[in-house]
Structure 1
Amino acid sequence: MSQTVFAPWDNPDEKPLIRFQNVTKKFGEFTAIDDLTLDIFAQEFFALLGPSGCGKTTMMRMLAGFETVTEGRIELAGADIGPVPPNERAVNMMFQSYALFPHISVWENIAFGLRRDKKSKAEIEARVEEMLKLVRLEKFAHRKPHQISGGQRQRVALARSLAKAPKLLLLDEPLGALDKKLRQETQFELMDIQETTGTTFVIVTHDQEEAMTVASRVAVMDEGRVIQVATPSAIYEYPNSVYVADFIGDVNIIEGQARASGTEEYALTWSEGQAPITATSQKAFSEGQKAHLAIRPEKIRISTEKPEDAVNAMQGKVLDIAYLGNLSTYHVELPGGQVIKAQTANTRRIARRDITWEDPVWISWSATAGVMLGQ
């Protein structure tokens, strides 16, 4: 049985759940969001990723109704939500601080919104039990927030946000307060819960690893604009700009002048006295155009002997080694002073280091290993 791939953004007949149409948001003279157009589809786990001050939280606050749009419009399920007050939107927001009521139990925290909506006692009980089961906190129902761990409080906040079955759940840096190991566990829990409920999640984060783990698609933002929207793998393998390549993961950027050397193949002149680099690109570059070649460290081989078959090979010396358990990253200085990072997987225990500091080494990569970028 073949499972259909979830990619509504590739289907022209799919209507988005959320539409930002030429949205601008100004605070006085400052433009926080600059003419932004973006579609988010039902059941997506969508990540807004970018540095502090790039506008991602402003976008979320506009969706929630805490900020008004200066220009343009935001639609939810086809309707303009501009005039709709926050408490009447089918949208819920989970804050970084969790904002739980300290004096009432976990059960009562989850029931709070349902009571305000005047639901019947039976409805409230059934829904709270369902939510407790969803976040696996049945045993903690009668504890107060201070009697449970940070990770459990995070799950209570999530259960409370989902209790009213919103169309859209907004998560503002939801895992910011958790330690690394718990964050990673909670990321997978969030994904499971999102899949189980089918609710559309929009998460704001500045943690690229988090966005790449949880999201169906990621919008990389900078200064109030969306620079690229794509699936995590497409953003990693095919960034559309140096900014995106540099923002996501580790990358080597080599700058040079492009010259066509075959069909979709280019020679990149990059350093005096060094042979040009051969790279492929479906995007055309004109003769002598400035180009940046972005290559991930794991696509670069490192060896003590000159590789016979490599398209691009150059000699350098090891400046630094970062050992990360499963990976080793070598910083190799080339004769022109450029430092290139090469990464190898540590598949066996290291009894002796083959390559160590100050060693002369060869680094090499294929013509298709990197992505040529114009800006």
Structure 2
Amino acid sequence: MTIPVFEPWNDPEAKPLIQFQNVTKRFGEFTAIDDLTLGIYEKEFFALLGPSGCGKTTMMRMLAGFETPTEGKIYLSGQDIAPVPPNKRLVNMMFQSYALFPHLSVWDNIAFGLKRENRPKHDIAERVQEMLRLTRLEKFASRKPHQISGGQRQRVALARSLAKAPKLLLLDEPLGALDKKLRQDTQFELMDIQEKTGTTFVIVTHDQEEAMTVASRVAVMDNGKIVQVATPDRIYETPNSLYVADFIGDVNIIDGTATPSGPEQYAVNWKDGAAPLTIKSQAAFSEGQRCHLAIRPEKVTISADRPTDADNTVQGRILDIAYLGNISTYHVELPSGAVIKAQAANTRRISRRAFTWEDPVWLSWTATAGVLLAD
């Protein structure tokens, strides 16, 4: 049985649940969001990723109803939501601080929004029980927030946000307060809960690893604009700009000029006296056009002897080594003074390193290993 691939953004018939149409938001002279158009689909786990001050939280606050666009429109299920007050929107927001009521039990925290709507007691009890099961908190129902761990508090806040069955759940840096190991575990829990409920999640984060782990698509933002929207693998493997390549993951950037040398192939002149690099690129470059080769360290092979069959080879000496347990990153200085990072998996237990500081080494990569980007 083939499982259908979830890619509504590739279906011309699919209508987005959320639509930003030419949305601009100004605070006085400052433009926080600049003429932004974007569609987010039902059941998506969508990540807004970018550095502090790029506009991602402003986008979220406009969805929640805490801010209104200066220009443009935001639609939810085809309805312009600007005139709809926050408490009447089918949208809920989970804050970074969780904002739990310290004097209420876990059960009462989850039930709070339902009680405010004067729902029948039986319905409230049933829904809270469902949320406790979903977030694996049944055993903690009678405890107060200070009697449970940070990860459990995070799940209480999530259960409370989902209790009213919103169409859209906004998560503002929801895992920021958790330690790294717990954060990683919670990311998978979030994905599991999102899948089970079918609720559309929009997460704001500056943690690229988090965005790449949980999201169906990632929007990389800079200065109030969306620079690229794509699935995590496309964002990583085929960034559309130097900004995205540099912002996501570790990368080597080699500057040079491109010269066409075959179908979708270029010779990149990068250092005086150095042999040109051979790069395949579907993007077109004209003769002598300035370009940047972005190549991930794991796509660069490090060896003691010069490879005979590689498209690109450069020689250097090891300047630094970062040992990260599963991988080692080697910083290799070339004769020109440029430093290129290469990564190797530590697949075997060895009593000594294969390479050490000051060792002369060869670096190599294929013509398709990197992405050629324009200025």
- TM-score bracket, normalised by the shorter chain, equals over 0.9
Please give the alpha-carbon distance, in whole angstroms, between the structure 2 residues aligned to 1:40 and 1:117. Answer: 28
* Deviations 1:79-118 (CA, angstroms, capped at 9, x unpaired): 0000000000000000000000000100000000001111
Work out the percentage of aligned pairs sharing the same amino acid.
77
Residue in 2 that maps onto 1:237? 237
SS in 1 for 2:3: coil
**Which segments of 5 or more consecutive residues in structure 2 lack a partner in the other structure?**
none
Separation in 2, partners of 1:211, 1:123: 35
Aligned to 1:267: 267
Asked if 1:248 is matched to 2:272, the reply is no
Specify the alignment match of 2:286 in structure 1. Answer: 286
Structure 1, unaligned stretches of length 5 or more? none
**2: CA distance, partners of 1:173 / 1:350:** 40
Rounded Cα–Cα distance in structure 2 between residues aligned with 1:354 and 1:130: 54
CA distance in 1, matches of 2:335, 2:241: 27
- The residue number in structure 1 matching 2:128 is 128
Q: TM-score, normalized by length of structure 1?
A: 1.00
Q: Residue 56 of structure 1 aligns with which residue?
A: 56
For 1:335 and 1:3, locate their aligned partners in 2 and report how far apart those are by CA, in whole Å.
51
After superposition, give the CA deviation of every residue in 1:176-211 in whole Å (9 maximum; x if it has no partner): 000000000000000000000000000000000000
Q: Which residue of 1 aligns with 2:309?
A: 309
Instruction: Render the CA deviation track for 1:336-371: whole Å, top value 9, x for unaligned.
Output: 111000000010012121211011100000000000
Q: Which amino acid aligns with 1:126?
A: E
Q: C-alpha offsets along residues 276-309 of structure 1, whole Å, 9 cap, x if unaligned?
A: 0000001100010001000000000001101111
Aligned-pair CA distance for 1:174: 0.1
Moved over 6 A (4+): none
2:160 corresponds to:
160
Deviation at 1:153, TM superposition (A): 0.3
DSSP-derived class of the 1:282 partner: coil
**Residues 339-350 of structure 1: pairs in structure 2 closer than 5 A:** 339-350=339-350
Q: What displacement does 1:28 show?
A: 0.3
Q: Does residue 35 of structure 2 align to residue 23 of structure 1? A: no
Provide the rounded CA distance (Å) in 1 between the counterparts of 2:48 and 2:23: 15
Residues matched between the structures, number: 375
Is the deviation greater in 362-371 or in 348-357? 348-357
The aligned counterpart of 2:334 is 334
In the TM superposition, 1:76-225 aligns within 5 A as 76-225=76-225
Query: d(CA) in 2 for partners of 1:268 and 1:350?
Result: 38
Aligned counterparts of 1:12 and 1:232: Cα–Cα separation in 2: 21
1: distance between equivalents of 2:335 and 2:78? 59
C-alpha distance in 1 between matches for 2:352 and 2:204: 44
CA distance in 2, matches of 1:285, 1:94: 46
What CA distance in whole angstroms lies between the structure 2 residues aligned with 1:325 and 1:216? 29
Task: For residue 254 of structure 1, give the secondary structure of its aligned residue in structure 2.
Answer: strand
Q: Tell me how far apart the structure 1 counterparts of residues 216 and 46 of structure 2 sit (CA, whole Å).
A: 6
Name the SS for the 1:318 alignment partner: strand
Q: Secondary structure at the match of 1:220?
A: strand
Structure 1 Cα separation of the partners of residues 223 and 146 of structure 2: 38
TM-score by length of 2: 1.00
Name the residue aligned to 1:41. 41
Instruction: Classify the secondary structure of the residue corresponding to 1:178.
Output: coil
Alpha-carbon distance in 2 for matches of 1:354, 1:90 = 58
CA–CA distance in structure 2, aligned partners of residues 119 and 145 of structure 1: 24
CA distance in 1, matches of 2:288, 2:200: 46
SS of residue paired to 1:210: helix
The one-letter amino acid paired with 1:88 is: K
Q: Distance in 2 between matches of 1:113 and 1:354?
A: 59
Distance 2:6 2:164 in 1: 25
Displacement of 1:51 in angstroms is: 0.2
- In structure 1, distance between residues paired with 2:330 and 2:250: 12
Question: What is the root-mean-square deviation of aligned Cα atoms in Å?
Answer: 0.4
Corresponding residue for residue 257 of structure 1: 257
How far apart in 2 are the matches of 1:4 and 1:278? Answer: 38
The 3-state SS of whatever aligns with 2:209 is helix
Residue 71 of structure 2: aligned partner: 71
